[in-house]
């Protein structure tokens, strides 16, 4: 895994977040309390020299880990975040990607129309998955949250689209160029607070975080961020190996994204 130049990555992300706030009337960001979206909030604090100037949305299906809820409360207070919790419902008959797709997307759609958000900051990275590698920095979604991946707007020389489908919104992706190891190196450098589930307890830790039903821990003794970075330098497995919903057919991710699930 390549460790890229953090100053370059940071500068570009700050530019993107500032551009989002400038171009859209009603920006909000998704926060899962994971390492990527928390890093995104740290970058937003740098971009605006302090408080994050837009609401932060947690799509809560009620079955996140208790540590995740505790971390949410703690950081919301510490960083004075404008937190909006959108409750989504688990349907016990669904599992895997249909569960994620159905309930989270529905909750998000309801929230978007209630608050009239026209842009949503989402912390995906290209190296997470082949499909994500194709995303644009500013990526339009129509009113049904569909992603027209065959017809993406141009992004040339830091010019990002601001054309909105009348009832749709734009997804903003400030972390596209970051690799997993860059996120951790930056977290260490900036001393960004993280969800304790990423650290090893009883020989296991979570490399990627989702809800309690679908997230599987990995064997690891990495007790601190230095250890995590060392582990990443030598690992051969993929980051999302412990996420059940990703294991289905390759273009499941593509279908998910084109359906509106982030």
Partner 1 sequence: MVFKMHVYKIALLGNKDHGKSTTIGSLLMLTKSISEARIEEAKRISNELNRPFEPGFLLDSFSEEREDAMTIDTTRAQIQYKGKGFEFIDVPGHEELIKNMLSGAAYADFALAIVSAAPNEGISNQTKRHIFIANLIGINKIIVAVNKMDAVNYDENRFNEIKKEITDYLIKIGVKNRDIKFIPISAYKGDNLVEKSSNMNWYNEDPLIDLLHKTSSKKKKTNNKIFSAIIQGNITTEKGELIAGKVISGAVNLNDTVVIEPDDIESKVEILYVAGKEKEKAKAGNEIALKLDKDINVEGRVLCSRNEEIKSMRSLNVRAFFVDVPKEDKLKIKINNNEVYGLTKIIDSIDTSSGNHFSDNKIRALEAADLDINLDKPVAAAKFNSIPELGKLLFYEEGKFIGIGIII
Interface pick for partner 1 out of 25, 150, 191, 219 (rule CB under 8 A):
150
Q: Which two tokens stand for residue 151?
A: 């017809």
If the CB atoms of residues 67 and 165 are measured against partner 1, the closer one turns out to be 165
Q: x/- binding map, residues 39-78, to partner 1, per CB under 8 A?
A: ------xxxxxxx-x-------------------------
Minimum CB separation of residue 196 from partner 1 in Å reads 24
Give the footprint of partner 1 on residues 220-239 (CB under 8 A).
235-238
Residue 93 or 154 having the CB closest to partner 1: 154
5 binds partner 1 (CB under 8 A): yes
Q: Which three-class secondary structure string do you get for the chain?
A: CCCCCHHHHHHHHHHHHHHHHHHCCCEEEECCCCHHHHHHHHHHHHHCCCCCCCCEEEEECCCCCHHHHHHHHHHHHHCCCCEEEEECCCCCCCCHHHHHHHHHHHHHHHHHHHHCCCEEECCCCHHHCCCHHHCCCEEEECCCCCCCCCCCCCCECCECCCCCCCCCEEEECCCCCCCHHHHHHHHHHHCCCCCHHHCCECCEECCCCCCCCCECCEECCCCCHHHHHHHHHHCCCCHHHHEHHHHCCCCHHHHHHHHCCC
Residue selected from 103, 105, 179, 215 as contacting partner 1 according to rule CB under 8 A: 179
Among positions 85-104, residues that touch partner 1 (CB under 8 A) are: none
Nearer to partner 1, 107 or 170 (CB): 170
Among positions 77, 87, 189, 201, the unique one binding partner 1 when judged by CB under 8 A: 189
**Could you tell me the smallest distance in angstroms from the CB atom of residue 172 to partner 1?**
15
Window of 27-35, 60-68, 103-111, 122-130 that interacts with partner 1 by CB under 8 A = 122-130
180: nearest Cα among 133, 216, 126, 138: 126
Residues within the interface to partner 1 (CB under 8 A)? 2-8, 10-11, 14-15, 18-19, 21-22, 45-51, 53, 126-127, 129-131, 133-134, 136, 149-150, 152-157, 159, 163, 179, 185, 189, 235-238, 241, 249-251, 254
């Amino acid at each position: 895994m390549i460790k890229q130049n953090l100053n370059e990555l940071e500068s570009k992300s700050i530019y993107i977040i500032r551009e989002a706030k400038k171009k859209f009337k009603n920006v909000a960001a998704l926060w899962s309390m994971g390492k990527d979206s928390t890093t995104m909030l740290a970058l937003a604090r740098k971009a605006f020299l302090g408080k994050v100037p837009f609401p932060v949305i947690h799509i809560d299906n009620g079955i996140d880990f208790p540590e995740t809820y505790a971390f949410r409360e703690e950081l919301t207070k510490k960083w004075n975040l404008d937190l909006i919790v959108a409750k989504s419902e688990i349907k016990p008959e669904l599992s895997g990607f249909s569960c994620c797709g159905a309930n989270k997307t529905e909750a998000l759609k309801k929230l978007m129309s209630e608050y009239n958000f026209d842009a949503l900051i989402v912390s995906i990275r290209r190296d997470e998955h082949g499909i994500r590698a194709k995303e644009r920095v500013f990526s339009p979604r129509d009113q049904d949250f569909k992603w027209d991946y065959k017809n993406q707007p141009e992004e040339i020389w830091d010019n990002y689209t601001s054309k909105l489908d009348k009832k749709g919104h734009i997804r903003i992706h400030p972390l596209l160029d970051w690799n997993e190891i860059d996120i951790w190196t930056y977290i260490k450098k900036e001393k960004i607070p993280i969800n304790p589930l990423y650290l090893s307890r009883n020989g296991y830790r979570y490399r990627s975080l989702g809800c309690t039903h679908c997230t599987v821990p990995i064997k690891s003794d990495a007790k601190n961020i230095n250890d995590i970075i060392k582990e990443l330098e030598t690992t051969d497995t993929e980051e999302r190996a412990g996420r059940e919903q990703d294991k289905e057919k390759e273009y499941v991710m593509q279908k998910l994204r084109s359906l509106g699930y982030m």
